[in-house]
Amino acid sequence: MPIHVDSCSRRHFLSTSALLGGGLLTRFSLGAAADGDPESYALLSDTHISADPAKVLRETHLCDNLKAVVAEVKGRPKRAAAVFLSGDAALNDGQPGDYEQLLTQLSPLLGEGAPPLHIGLGNHDDRANFRAIVKPRGPATIESKHVALVEGRDVNWFLVDTLRFTNKVEGELGEEQRQWLNAALKAHADKPAIVVGHHNPQFPPAAQAENAEATQVKHTGIVDTELFVSLLESHRHVKAYIYGHTHNWSHQRRESGLHFINLPPVAYVFDKARPNGWVEVTTTPGKAVFKLHALSKTHPEEGATVELALGPTS
């Protein structure tokens, strides 16, 4: 990791953050953990940070929630190999001040010796403002989207960008990104793959196509879901698609064996019974275990795990 920090000045901090925002790298290899030692990752989603550090939305103090999560990630006995934030980093429409505040709040996870951090984009982000403030490292792999490949020891992480229009609910991979993903997956078929984006898959209601009501279902997820999921399922080494957006921690396994894991939000939930928090992933050559760290330690799902076999890729 090319990290050089010798000052805490604001200017220096921002340029350091730029180095750490590794999202635009075509290929990014992590320092390998010792064999047999699990490698761990921190997965965050939907922080919804405002320029105003006191902002409260839906009875949730946004910066306080992120502070608590950052402290937990930082306090884990084993340092994460990488930290991913899967979109809706900003409050509503991705203002420059939102990203400045986000970097301030993430500062305990930045700096010398810190794991690489990738910030993905959701429908409440603005790609141009994000690039201007966070200054992700390296040239854009594809100009239209903010993508990255992070090579772990047991798993390769493909970080996609489903932001379609800022502050419009639905998302999209788009043709250019699907082509990039297809080629990148093909070129890295020797190791299990996990794809991380912001929006949820949403299949059209095909079975009731003649039903006029069904065809009017509102698009809130990925508009090119069928193309995206069939792309994922055409690569047998793709084990899971991970996303946020619905603020609803959940898991499902498709008939093909592909897992969908919906991350909890760091910020507010839409249904008060659901947990907010973050997810820690530990990988070994045979499996990846996703563990919920709920912000409320008394939540019934605190500590819940989802296990993925990373077995043979054929």
Identify the CA nearest to 136 among candidates 119, 121, 122, 113: 119
Residue closer to Zn ion, measured from CB, 21 or 264: 264
Residue closer to Zn ion, measured from CB, 46 or 280: 46
Binding-site ranges for Zn ion (CB under 5 A)? 46, 88
Q: How far is the CB of 88 from Zn ion (least distance, A)?
A: 3
Q: How far is the CB of 246 from Zn ion (least distance, A)?
A: 8
Residue closer to Zn ion, measured from CB, 83 or 163: 163
Residue closer to Zn ion, measured from CB, 92 or 107: 92
Residue with the shortest CB distance to Zn ion: 88
Residue closer to Zn ion, measured from CB, 39 or 46: 46
Q: How far is the CB of 161 from Zn ion (least distance, A)?
A: 15
Q: How far is the CB of 97 from Zn ion (least distance, A)?
A: 18
Q: How far is the CB of 245 from Zn ion (least distance, A)?
A: 6
- Rounded to whole angstroms, the Cα distance separating 182 from 233 reads 11
- Rounded to whole angstroms, the Cα distance separating 176 from 170 reads 18
Q: How far is the CB of 65 from Zn ion (least distance, A)?
A: 12
Residue closer to Zn ion, measured from CB, 85 or 193: 85
